């Protein structure tokens, strides 16, 4: 497990814990909001903190790669304090494959053994991951959230979770004929694929109070009796199989189209109503269906009586061809008090009144008081609906038609929410909020513009622009906000409208508007379909970056939650104002990654990027962070940053880069992970003679004579230095043979690699660090480098003793032969034993050297 940076030291001046006055309950509450890795790292703050993480009420476990976490998560869950219940546990992973599902199954079982009450599993992988087909069993689990999974039959049988009350399933695929729970009270299913060999999934939850079914695909589930249900919302998307080819004709009961014929054979138990039967006891109901969906109209043939229904919200499905569907529904709602109709653009066939006369004679809505019709414009369809409802509802006291939903012009009486032309011209295609008409006054007018600009810069760009309709003063405030966040594209009707919006947004900022303090482009692939992704992201983001630089932006961030999914333009960036650049999941495919065109760029952060460049250079850069980055396989990237002060480099895969001179460097953290290509098939630090060894074959560049250091030369001016790598990577072991002088080095952290060749690598490092004050050695449970490995190092006579070295810390799980060997060697080279402290990570207290 990685350790915190040296500049985040535990307070050792007085030995006192500055947080000692805070009660444990408060500390536990605060630590519960941290990721599990950060919460565990607090164990080094003080003696009191060593085991606080073992009794946290919440665990948040997230990472980009699961195999990093396997050992860590197992220990975090198994080492919890016995008897301490776990209130909440969250597993959130971006990159997850079916091969990793075994880890997740194990962690879920361990969390249930810790008596977890709320469990959240979120996977944002390209394909859904199948979990083991075993039912959950827990006497403590009350809430469960699942996202991005493939769930089989036994897993969705929650009869073993007797107190489970809240279940949320998102973006999952079910392979079962029934979702069963006797205790469940709240259920939400969103964007799920519901099917079991063409048989509809039955939902049996007799204790359910609230239900939400949104945008499920394939086959509509069958709702069994829910006598306690109070609120329900069902929204059918266009990917449902309950589609009628003759929808515009009303979808008659005798329809012989292929999808309607399939509908009749879906329920093998001959359930009368697929959805409405289970919703008959609800008090508040919303039924929304996309164009072509006829499942609600089919259910109305056997419509039950909604004896408790007081609020009902419907859309166009009840008005296709005629009003019979709406009137038939209203006949079965004797206590209805409020009706909401959400209408889109006018349908092709007009609403026919003649076919409704017989039904109107028997329709009486004695308690209906409020009717709201939300529509793009007031037309004859709206007038006919309101006329009928007035005739059938003697108690009707409030009737309103709210126009402007689709930015259409409005007419008639009681029209609210009309949108001005200014808002439509920029934000066409995105729904805008209705304008308040209570008093007509702007209640935020008293705020200074500086405060409003700051708030607007924190909003996504489309939300910031929406504020132009609040009041006259707000019409152009968004155009001078100090920041722009282009993110969250859900809700746009087309890619062209989204592209046009971003283009115009950046064009309007160019010129007279004040310079941008920061600009962020952040997208999630789950917000795109394929065409949108290709068109809006890959083809236009390069143009948007150039326009942001033209707005004199100072901080630019480009982020996509998908490894190397976006490639920067080959041409260099040019800006006289850019001071900070952040790239996330971006590929830089340039022969020379040159930032000389950005003379004031001082900070750069790159995460999960592919550095596909021969050279990277900047004369002004002072802080560089490269986390989990991928480099070239057969050619090294040369990094030339003469003004750099702080460096954090983590190589996920490819060749470690060649660091040039950094005379101003103060702090550096270097990590070479398992995927690094600098390893030898022979397993030793020396160059092997095998021509087929890829690690040694490409170790030196074609223009390198093999006598220089790859990393250590560039790090020789550092004051604080941390070096760690996987046991198979040999870069540091070979660099030490040509080790330079570290004349400014005061704090050094090394891992197991320094134990190679009978500790000669460690001693060689110490001999070239004359001003070293603190040395920390972190040893893993299993030796990563054999202490008997062959290797030749330039060692001095064994009389070395630094006058500045005051403390040597050895962090290990057990005091084994390696530790004794280190103590013996350090003592032989003049380091007193009283300066050496041993910390055992698997015991309650560290032990000093005896």
What is the C-alpha to C-alpha distance for residues 65 and 94, in angstroms, rounded to an integer?
Answer: 8
| Residue pLDDT, tens place only, 266-320 | 444 345 678 888 999 999 999 988 766 777 777 777 788 899 999 999 888 777 6
Nearest to 781 by CA among 110, 105, 108, 74: 74
Q: How many CB atoms lie within 10 A of CB 167?
A: 22
User: What integer is the mean pLDDT of 66-94?
Assistant: 79
Q: What is the pLDDT of residue 701?
A: 55
Helix 70-78 to helix 101-113 angle, to the nearest 10 degrees? 10
Grade residue 70 by pLDDT with cuts at 50, 70 and 90: confident
Query: How far lies 113's CA from each of 91, 110, 130, in Å?
Result: 16, 5, 21
With beta carbons less than 8 A apart as the criterion, state whether 491 and 452 touch. Answer: no
Check whether 184 has a pLDDT greater than 90: yes
What is the C-alpha to C-alpha distance for residues 746 and 719, in angstroms, rounded to an integer?
Answer: 5
What is the C-alpha to C-alpha distance for residues 782 and 225, in angstroms, rounded to an integer?
Answer: 58
Grade residue 212 by pLDDT with cuts at 50, 70 and 90: very high
End-to-end CA, the chain: 27
Which residues are within 8 A (CB) of 635 and not within 5 positions of it... i.e. 6 or more apart?
614, 655, 698, 701
What is the C-alpha to C-alpha distance for residues 623 and 717, in angstroms, rounded to an integer?
Answer: 15
What is the C-alpha to C-alpha distance for residues 30 and 51, in angstroms, rounded to an integer?
Answer: 15
* Helix (H), strand (E) at residue 570: none
Strands in 202-204's sheet, in edge-to-edge order, are: 178-180, 202-204, 222-223
Least confident of 221-225, 655-659, 665-669, 671-675: 671-675
With beta carbons less than 8 A apart as the criterion, state whether 177 and 196 touch. Answer: yes
Strands, E assignment, 655-719: 658-659, 667-676
pTM of the model as a whole = 0.50
Q: What is the pLDDT of residue 157?
A: 87
What is the C-alpha to C-alpha distance for residues 748 and 723, in angstroms, rounded to an integer?
Answer: 8
SS3 assignment, position 316 = helix
Q: What is the pLDDT of residue 105?
A: 83
| Residue pLDDT, tens place only, 785-813 | 444 444 444 444 444 556 788 899 998 88
What is the C-alpha to C-alpha distance for residues 177 and 168, in angstroms, rounded to an integer?
Answer: 18
Average pLDDT, rounded, for the chain: 76
Q: What is the pLDDT of residue 794?
A: 46
Least confident of 138-152, 196-210, 634-648, 659-673: 196-210
Q: What is the 3-state secondary structure (H, E, C) of 335-371?
A: CCCEEEEECCCCCCCCCECHHHHHHHHHCCCCCCCEE
Check whether 140 has a pLDDT greater than 80: yes
Check whether 239 has a pLDDT greater than 70: no
Strands, E assignment, 325-397: 338-342, 370-374
Least confident of 221-230, 345-354, 773-782: 345-354
What is the C-alpha to C-alpha distance for residues 481 and 509, in angstroms, rounded to an integer?
Answer: 9
Strands, E assignment, 517-571: 518-523, 555-560, 566-567
Largest CA distance in the chain: 111
DSSP one-letter code for 408: -
Nearest to 810 by CA among 786, 788, 831: 831
With beta carbons less than 8 A apart as the criterion, state whether 254 and 233 touch. Answer: no
Query: How far lies 39's CA from each of 66, 106, 123, in Å?
Result: 18, 22, 22
């Amino acid at each position: 497990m990685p350790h915190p940076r040296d500049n985040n030291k535990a307070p050792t001046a007085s030995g006192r814990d500055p947080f000692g006055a805070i009660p444990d309950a408060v500390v536990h509450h605060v630590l519960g909001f941290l990721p599990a890795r950060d919460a565990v790292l607090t164990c080094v703050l003080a003696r009191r903190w060593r085991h606080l993480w073992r009794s946290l009420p919440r665990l948040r476990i997230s990472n980009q790669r699961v195999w990093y976490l396997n050992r860590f998560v197992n220990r975090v869950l198994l080492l919890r304090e016995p008897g301490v219940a776990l209130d909440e546990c969250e597993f959130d992973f971006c990159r997850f494959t079916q091969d990793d599902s075994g880890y997740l199954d194990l962690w879920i079982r361990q969390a249930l053994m810790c008596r977890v009450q709320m469990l959240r599993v979120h996977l944002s992988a390209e394909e859904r991951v199948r979990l083991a087909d075993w039912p959950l069993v827990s006497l403590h689990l009350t809430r469960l959230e699942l996202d991005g999974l493939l769930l089989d039959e036994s897993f969705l049988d929650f009869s073993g979770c007797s107190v489970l009350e809240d279940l949320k399933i998102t973006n999952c695929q079910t392979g079962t004929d029934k979702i069963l729970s006797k205790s469940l009270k709240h259920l939400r299913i969103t964007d799920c694929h519901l099917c079991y060999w063409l048989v509809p999934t039955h939902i049996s939850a007799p204790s359910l109070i609230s239900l939400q079914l949104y945008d499920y695909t394939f086959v509509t589930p069958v709702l069994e009796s829910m006598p306690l249900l109070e609120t329900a919302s069902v929204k059918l998307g266009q990917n449902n199989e309950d589609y009628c080819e003759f929808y515009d004709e009303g979808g008659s009961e005798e329809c012989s189209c292929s999808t309607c014929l399939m509908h009749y054979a879906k329920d093998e138990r001959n359930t009368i109503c697929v959805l409405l039967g289970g919703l008959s006891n609800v008090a508040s109901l919303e039924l929304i269906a996309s164009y072509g969906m006829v499942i609600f109209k089919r259910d109305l043939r056997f419509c039950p009586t909604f004896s408790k229904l007081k609020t009902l919200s419907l859309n166009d499905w009840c008005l296709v061809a005629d009003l019979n569907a709406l009137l038939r529904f209203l006949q079965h709602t004797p206590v209805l008090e409020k009706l909401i109709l959400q209408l889109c653009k006018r349908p092709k066939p007009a609403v026919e009144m003649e076919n409704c006369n017989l039904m109107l004679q028997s329709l009486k809505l004695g308690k209906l008081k409020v009717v709201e019709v939300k529509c793009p414009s007031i037309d004859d369809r709206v007038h006919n609906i309101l006329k009928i409802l007035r005739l059938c509802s003697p108690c009707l006291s409030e009737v309103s038609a709210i126009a402007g939903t689709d930015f259409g012009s409005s007419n008639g009486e009681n029209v609210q929410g009309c949108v001005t032309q200014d808002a439509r011209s920029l934000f066409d295609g995105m729904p805008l909020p209705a304008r308040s008409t209570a008093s007509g006054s702007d209640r935020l007018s008293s705020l200074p513009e500086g405060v409003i600009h700051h708030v607007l810069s924190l909003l996504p760009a489309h939300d910031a622009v929406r504020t132009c309709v609040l009041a006259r003063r707000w019409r152009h405030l968004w155009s001078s906000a100090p920041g722009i966040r282009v993110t969250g594209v859900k809700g746009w009707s087309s890619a062209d409208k989204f592209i046009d919006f971003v283009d115009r947004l950046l064009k309007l900022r160019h010129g007279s508007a004040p310079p941008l303090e920061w600009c962020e482009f952040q997208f999630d692939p789950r917000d795109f379909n394929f065409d949108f992704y290709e068109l809006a992201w890959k083809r236009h983001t390069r143009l948007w970056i150039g326009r942001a630089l033209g707005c004199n932006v100072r901080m630019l961030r480009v982020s996509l939650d998908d490894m190397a999914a976006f490639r920067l333009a080959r041409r260099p960036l040019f800006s006289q104002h850019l001071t900070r650049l952040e790239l996330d999941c971006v590929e830089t495919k340039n022969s020379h990654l040159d930032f000389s065109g950005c003379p004031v760029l001082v900070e750069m952060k790159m995460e999960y990027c592919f550095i596909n460049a021969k050279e990277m250079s900047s004369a002004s850069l002072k802080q560089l962070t490269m986390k989990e980055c991928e480099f070239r396989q057969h050619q090294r990237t040369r990094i030339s940053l003469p003004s750099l002060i702080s460096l954090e480099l983590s190589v996920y895969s490819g060749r470690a880069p060649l660091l040039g001179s950094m005379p101003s460097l103060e702090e550096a953290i270097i990590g070479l992970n398992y995927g690094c290509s600098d390893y030898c098939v022979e397993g030793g630090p020396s160059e092997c003679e095998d021509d087929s060894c890829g690690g040694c074959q490409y170790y030196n560049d074609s223009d390198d004579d093999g006598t220089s250091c790859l990393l250590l030369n560039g790090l020789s001016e550092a004051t604080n230095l941390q070096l760690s790598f996987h046991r198979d990577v040999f870069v540091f072991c070979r660099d030490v043979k040509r080790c330079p002088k570290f004349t400014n080095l005061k704090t050094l952290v090394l891992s197991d690699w320094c134990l190679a060749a009978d500790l000669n690598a460690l001693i060689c490092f110490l001999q070239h660090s004359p001003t070293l004050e603190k040395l920390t050695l972190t040893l893993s449970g299993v030796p990563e480098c054999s202490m008997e490995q062959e290797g030749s190092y330039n060692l001095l006579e064994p009389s070395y003793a630094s006058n500045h070295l005051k403390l040597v810390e050895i962090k290990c799980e057990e005091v084994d032969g390696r530790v004794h060997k280190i103590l013996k060697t350090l003592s032989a080279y003049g380091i007193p034993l009283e300066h050496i402290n041993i910390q055992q990570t698997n015991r309650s207290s560290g032990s000093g050297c005896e």
